[in-house]
Amino acid sequence: MGLLMSVDVAVVGATGLVGEALVELLDECDFPLGNLHLLASGESAGKSVPFRGRNLRVRDLAGFDFSSVRLAFFAAGADVVREHAPRATAAGCSLVDLSGSVAGPLLLPALEAGAVAALTLPAQLRAPCAPAAEVAEVLAALSPLLDIQRLAVTACLSASQLGREGIQELARQTTELLNARPVEPRLIDRQYAFNMLGQVGAADASGHTAIERRLHDELGELFPQLKGQLQVSCLLAPVFFGDALNLSLRAVAPIDLEAVCAALENAEGIELVEDDYPTVIGDALGQERIYVGRVRKGLGDPCELNLWIASDNVRKGSALNAVNLGALLIKHYL
């Protein structure tokens, strides 16, 4: 991207977990960046964030004029995005949304870079949620090989799924417990420290949570051939960082395990771990690949394939895909 014109960029939600990772990646990678504007709520306005040897001031999103940038990353909650994304679009600013709430196409850079060819400006692109992006990278590697009949994803998400406040809640509850004080639930309505939670946030009338719907629907959008065949459950593990995903699928024909491993080995965004299993803390944290291990057939069915994914949901699962989508937009359009 070295020869591209540089583009002025805004990051909405720059003080959040994902926004902070976005800013780090924009700094580290070869992104054609002009001026960078950091936006958050009024409460954060005035904070300063070090960036390339200078201090950038965080500004209030509410007063920001989007006509001063050509591209904005929206890494805030869905309600904030729904309120402010239309302002960006009206000002001619293209955007990459990480909350799953704009109307534009859902794109995963690893999957379908070609699809950016059909956009009109200002563009609204949706980046998948982290678990969808992570599962999709595996499916992209495997779907040329396997005719998948059914896929069950059990996602053990972490406190970071709930943003910075989630991390704080787990830290506070853990400290209270270890000091033998009664646990006082705040963000989460029960003991979360040292307790597996079977649900992430509220469930709707049919019993599903927002993240389960998003994971299910985004996988169905990215792989239309799997619609109606995707089983999705999201759990909340008492860990601070990362996604830990268990995938169990059934193909129409017996699994060729060597071919599966070769396909995973060759996928750029995947680190295949053989004869051991990766974990978030030991392997994935801070990395730009997902870690896949425990690739194995079923115990009773030769058409069954199981595997395990450890990934840095914030950096790899969210921010990196968004930055790459932004770079694609710039390359082809801006």
Ligand X SMILES: NC(=O)c1ccc[n+]([C@@H]2O[C@H](COP(=O)([O-])OP(=O)(O)OC[C@H]3O[C@@H](n4cnc5c(N)ncnc54)[C@H](OP(=O)(O)O)[C@@H]3O)[C@@H](O)[C@H]2O)c1
- Chain positions contacting its own copies, by CB under 8 A: 150, 152, 154, 156, 158, 174-175, 178, 190-191, 194-199, 203, 206-208, 212-213, 216-217, 220, 227-233, 235, 237-240, 242, 244, 246, 248, 250, 277-282, 293-301, 304, 306, 308, 310
Could you say which DSSP state residue 106 is in?
B
| Region of residue 43 (left: phi > 0; alpha: psi -120 to 50; beta: else) | alpha
Q: At what angle do helices 163-178 and 17-28 cross, to 10 degrees?
A: 120
Binding ligand X (rule: CB under 6 A), the pick from 72, 98, 102, 237 is 98
Residue 291 tokens read as 């870690």
Residue 255 interacts with ligand X (CB under 6 A): yes or no: no
Q: How far is the CB of 78 from ligand X (least distance, A)?
A: 6
Q: Confirm if 309 and 243 have CB atoms less than 8 A apart.
A: yes
Q: Are strands 124-126 and 71-74 parallel, antiparallel or unpaired?
A: unpaired
Q: Which does 48 bind (CB under 5 to 8 A by kind): its own copies, ligand X, none?
A: none
Q: Which does 152 bind (CB under 5 to 8 A by kind): its own copies, ligand X, none?
A: its own copies
Q: How far is the CB of 75 from ligand X (least distance, A)?
A: 5
Q: Which residues contact 205 (CB under 8 A, 6 or more apart)?
A: none
Q: Which does 99 bind (CB under 5 to 8 A by kind): ligand X, its own copies, none?
A: ligand X
Residue 326 interacts with ligand X (CB under 6 A): yes or no: no
Total count of residues recorded for the chain: 334
Q: Which does 131 bind (CB under 5 to 8 A by kind): ligand X, its own copies, none?
A: none
Nearer to ligand X, 14 or 25 (CB): 14
Q: Binders of ligand X among 65-94, rule CB under 6 A?
A: 75-78, 80
Site track 225-254 with ligand X (rule: CB under 6 A), x = hit:
------------------------------
Place of tokens 């996602």: 155
Radius of gyration of the chain (CA): 20
In DSSP notation, 115-162 reads: GGGG--SSPEEEPPPHHHHHHHHHHHHHTTT--EEEEEEEEEE-GGGG
Residue 31 tokens read as 């992104």
Binding site for ligand X (CB under 6 A): 13-19, 40-41, 43-44, 61, 75-78, 80, 98-99, 129-130, 160-161, 163-165, 313-314, 317-318
